[in-house]
Amino acid sequence: MKKKFSTKVKFYTTGFDSGFSFRQMRLVWKLGNIADVADATVLFWSLPSINKAIATVVSKATSTGSIHLPKTKDFLDQLYAYRSKIELDPPLKAGIKNTSFLRVGQKLRIVLPQYGIFSANVLKNEGFLTISYPKPIKNQYRCFEWVKKTVTVYFWRKNDAGYMFDTRVGGAGHYQGMPVLFLEHSTNLQRSQKRKSIRCPCSINADLYLLSDVKVRSPRSPETEKGIKCLIEDLSEDGALIRIGGKGHNGMGIKIQFMLGTSQIVMSGTVKSIEYNETINQSRLHFQCDVVDDNMRQIISMYVYSVIPEEQKQAFDAISLIENDEEGGSDDDDVAELEEV
């Protein structure tokens, strides 16, 4: 009985956070019960789940002979209208704008500049955001200097997106016998960008080859002949910003070859855009890599990650952690992932 009550509370809380009316929530709850849906919250956003549940209702009504009753017809009409609304105007499309919508139990990833990334959960959401005392993700020390510090908070909202916001730690104390922090609310939530390959500024001499040149070997094979001299000005595992003499062209297929320490790197791909400086007759090529050996990609990633500023590194790690939250990973998985970067 207690579990059923908590399930219903969770259902209505999710519906409220997502902008549903009580009438809509009652309709969806009834649909979930009749169709025996284990977690009825999926019916707030998942069209396949809604379709399957409605099909179950139709099947049950047909088998019991109630499919033509006015009451059944009215219920089905409401379900079809609801399904159309979800398809045309998803309730979670606009996301949330302030922290008052955060639910108890929400997992948070907190970046405290110069100290690292910490994990916490929302325990209470009223005048302040009461969170469990943050635990370090990667480092083994604990930081006690939280009060009045500015932190960046990242979290993944189920069925929606990743978010981030900056806030201040208003105080520390205890809640239900546990040490906690009190975060100030924020009305400036931003959807965090999906984790992308990080890019770092650099100055690396390289050789550039046109893939259209018949003398060029395969996109993966190192070249033995010298190519067009160029300078890599920033680098990531999936692209680079390259400076060359002369005027480049969008859509060029190119291959670049260079050294990272003692490792030779070969990357092939396409020039997506150019910046041409007529005065000095030089171009900056925005290069997207389509072909690179997996070992070389890993070497590039390790190089980039080792030289980017700590602040950028922590932001990248935090985003990767909330993406892991989306997939249901554990904190042990989080540490393993970060150690591999």
Alpha carbon distance 88, 58 (integer Å): 23
> Which of helix, strand or coil describes residue 321?
helix
Say which amino acid occupies 127.
G
Give Cα 253 to chain centroid, integer Å: 31
What is the structure's pLDDT at 340? 46
Which residues make beta-bridge pairs with 264? Answer: 259
- The reported pLDDT for the residue numbered 302 is 86
pLDDT at 143: 59
Residue at token pair 């935090």: 318
For 19, 39, 119, 165, the CA distances from 137, given in Å and listed in that order, are 33, 30, 6, 19
Average pLDDT, consecutive stretches of 10 residues, N- to C-terminus, the chain (341 residues)? 68 76 90 89 83 92 90 90 77 68 90 89 92 82 78 84 90 93 90 70 95 89 94 93 93 95 94 93 94 91 81 79 70 47 46
**Count of residues in the chain:** 341
Tokens of 43: 């019916």
Instruction: Give me the residues paired with residue 289 across strands.
Output: 269
Asked if residues 296 and 222 have their Cβ atoms less than 8 Å apart, the reply is no
Is-contact 111 89, C-beta < 8 A? no
What integer pLDDT is reported at residue 305 of this predicted model? 79
Angstrom distance (rounded) from CA 57 to CA 80? 12
The SS3 of residue 236 is strand
* Alpha helices (H) in the chain, listed in sequence order: 2-17, 22-34, 47-64, 70-88, 294-307, 310-326, 331-340
Distance CA 60, CA 69 (A): 13
CA angle (265 as vertex; 262, 270 as ends), nearest 5: 160
Do residues 121 and 108 make contact, with C-beta atoms less than 8 angstroms apart?
Answer: yes
Q: How far apart are CA 110 and CA 141, in angstroms?
A: 15
Q: Output the CA torsion 108→197→264→274 (10° steps).
A: -160
Q: For the residues of 25-67, what is the DSSP string, one character each?
A: HHHHHHHHHHTT-S-GGGGGT-HHHHHHHHHHHHHHHHHHT-T
Threshold 0.85, pTM exceeds: no
> In whole angstroms, what is the distance from residue 46 CA to residue 332 CA?
30
> Phi-psi category of 328—alpha, beta or left, where left has phi over 0 and alpha has psi -120 to 50?
left
- The amino acid sitting at 299 is I
Give yes or no for a contact between 167 and 128, defined as CB atoms under 8 angstroms apart.
no
- Tell me 176's DSSP state: T
In angstroms, rounded to a whole number, what is the distance separating the alpha carbons of residues 256 and 265?
8
Rounded to 5°, angle at Cα 92 from 194 and 39: 100
pLDDT at 335: 44
Output the DSSP codes for 111-164.
EETTTEEEEEEEEEESSSEEEEPPEESS-S------TT-EEEEEEE-TTS-EEE
